[in-house]
Amino acid sequence: MRGTGVILGIVLLFILVQMPIQADAGQTGRTPTWQNGLQIDVDVENSDYWATGSVSEIFFTLTLLDVGSITDFKSLIFEVTVMTEINYTGTFTVIDPWNAVGDESRIVGRFTVTNEDVNNAGWDIYMASFYYNFSVMADTTSDTDIRFYTHVYEGTPLNISTFSFIVFWPFPPIVLMAGVYWSLYIGLKRFNKRFEGLESNNTETEKSEDQ
């Protein structure tokens, strides 16, 4: 039985390794820089898998690295768009986003995608994407109310499913394979016990006949 258990474990491990798992989603970053010396580090994080009908989040952390010629930050206007069959755009405004170098401004984009937005994907995971851009209203040493824009940046891929358990990926297949393994193990063990009992009874019967 121990040898059988080892073989089953190796087979299950091989099956898990062969399962495709999205590895490049989850985190990205860049550092926009303007001619006046303004520099901001942008860190983006999101869940690898989203499920329809529930709130999914994208996290943005904007860290001020260099003020350049800016004397006062007035506001940060941030836009993020999730692209499915229907596009969702969220706009966020932060007043006085930074006071000094090293300060952080955090933004959380929350989206609820419907089954229709991913064409009722079912078992076929829908591959979506998101984009973001922002601008900064500020005063400089020479002008007031100047708006500094960024390009539109692409985020990491979004894997969206109509099944709620997808957000726990890759744990569902691991739990399923573990359940199958232990079910087979316990079943075989009980079967062997019954066989050993029958073999024992046959041996006792043969001894009685010899006597």
pLDDT tens digits, 12-60:
555 554 454 443 457 889 999 999 999 999 999 998 788 898 899 999 9
Predicted local distance difference test score (pLDDT) of residue 162: 87
Instruction: Classify residue 203 as left (phi > 0), alpha (psi -120 to 50) or beta.
Output: alpha
Predicted local distance difference test score (pLDDT) of residue 49: 84
Tell which wins on pLDDT, 143 or 122: 143
Task: Read off the pLDDT band of 134 (50, 70, 90).
Answer: very high
pTM to 2 decimal places: 0.69
Predicted local distance difference test score (pLDDT) of residue 1: 47
Predicted local distance difference test score (pLDDT) of residue 91: 96
Neighbours of 181 (CB within 10 A): 15
Predicted local distance difference test score (pLDDT) of residue 122: 79
Tell which wins on pLDDT, 195 or 58: 58
Amino acid at 178: A
CA separation, residue 170 to residues 59, 87, 95, 129, 145 (Å) = 22, 27, 40, 20, 49
Asked if 136 contacts 38 with a C-beta cutoff of 8 angstroms, the reply is yes
Tell which wins on pLDDT, 202 or 81: 81
Distance CA 188, CA 1 (A): 8
Tell which wins on pLDDT, 184 or 14: 184
- Provide the pairing of β-strand 49-51 with 158-161: parallel
The percentage of the chain sitting over the pLDDT mark of 90, rounded to a whole number, equals 53
pLDDT tens by residue, 70-116: 999 999 999 999 999 999 999 999 999 999 999 999 999 999 999 99
